[in-house]
Amino acid sequence: MRIDILTVLPEMIEGFFNCSIMARAQKKGLAEIVIHNIRDYTTDKHHKTDDYPFGGSAGMVMKIEPIDRLITKLKSERDYDDVIFTSPDGERFDQRMANSLSLCNNLIILCGHFKGIDYRVREHLITREVSIGDYVLTGGELAAAAIADATVRLIPGVLGDVGSALDDSFQDGLLDHPVYTRPADYKGWCVPEILLSGNEALIREWELNQQIARTRRLRPDLLKD
């Protein structure tokens, strides 16, 4: 899978994709993350990516020309499943959306910035708007990183242990069960006996009961349908 991220601040997320599981996924050839600087597609002397809004309201607006040039170039090179724009106005990103995006071959994620973006970008160049929650970030870079991370880790082979993505909180509509490691007794804070029993069937049953109890307590909304 290839994800092209379009931003005016590439340095904000480059480090993120060069670390840990995201870096390993790329080394293994399971994911290709290509970060593009929108500024490289400006043609004016000052490399302007934003301008004053028509109508005189406050703040700057991202210009359409460099974004169109970049998206048009990318689309001439391969077919894209979706061109996503990160925005608090968008449909809410969740595990279900991550699952469906992980089946895509090529995605573009355009990071919003400043006060807004020339509305014609949203009308003509993107296929969907995605929000990572009801709060406003200073830019869409963190949102793009969150969307790409949650999506790439679901690609088979990215996580070492095949079971671990399937066990995730939300993957089966339930929160995860507690996990523990050594020592079994730390300052008198003991690991539940059952986990030391060696009885696989009872342990699986305990884990499922814990998932249901934690979901009921912490996220009862997930049990509603």
Q: H helices within the chain, ranges in order?
A: 11-17, 20-27, 64-77, 95-101, 119-124, 141-152, 162-166, 200-218
Spatial contact of 10 and 37, defined as CB atoms under 8 Å apart = yes
The alpha carbon of 33 is separated from its chain's Cα centroid by a whole number of angstroms, namely 12
174: how many CB neighbours lie within 10 A of its CB?
Answer: 20
Nearer to ligand ADE, 66 or 140 (CB): 140
Between 146 and 158, CB nearer to ligand ADE: 146
Among 46, 79, 135, 217, binds ligand ADE (CB under 6 A): 135
- Please name the residue ranges forming H helices in 105-185: 119-124, 141-152, 162-166
Binding of residue 19 to ligand ADE (CB under 6 A): no
Q: Report the residue closest to ligand ADE, judged by CB.
A: 143
* CB nearer to ligand ADE: pick between 135 and 189: 135
Residues 93-122 that bind ligand ADE (CB under 6 A): 112
- What would the x/- binding string for ligand ADE be over residues 67 to 96, using CB under 6 A? -------------------xxx--------
Give the DSSP letter of residue 58: S
145 binds ligand ADE (CB under 6 A): no
- Please tell me the distance from the alpha carbon of residue 162 to that of residue 51, in angstroms, as a whole number: 48
Give the shortest CB-14-to-ligand ADE separation in angstroms: 19
Determine if 137 is a binding residue for ligand ADE (CB under 6 A): yes
Q: Which stretch binds ligand ADE (CB under 6 A): 63-71, 118-126, 129-137, 161-169?
A: 129-137
Task: Name which of 13 and 143 has its Cβ closer to ligand ADE.
Answer: 143
Instruction: Select from 6, 33, 125, 140 the one that contacts ligand ADE (CB under 6 A).
Output: 140
* Pairing outcome for strands 32-37 and 2-7: parallel
Task: Name residue, tokens 């599981």.
Answer: 21
Residue 20 · residue 33 · CB < 8 Å? no
Assess 33 for contact with ligand ADE (CB under 6 A): no
The answer to whether 101 touches 147, Cβ cutoff 8 Å, is yes
Query: Any contact of residue 59 with ligand ADE (CB under 6 A)?
Result: no
53: which DSSP letter? P
Interface residue list for ligand ADE (CB under 6 A):
86-88, 112, 131-133, 135-137, 140, 143
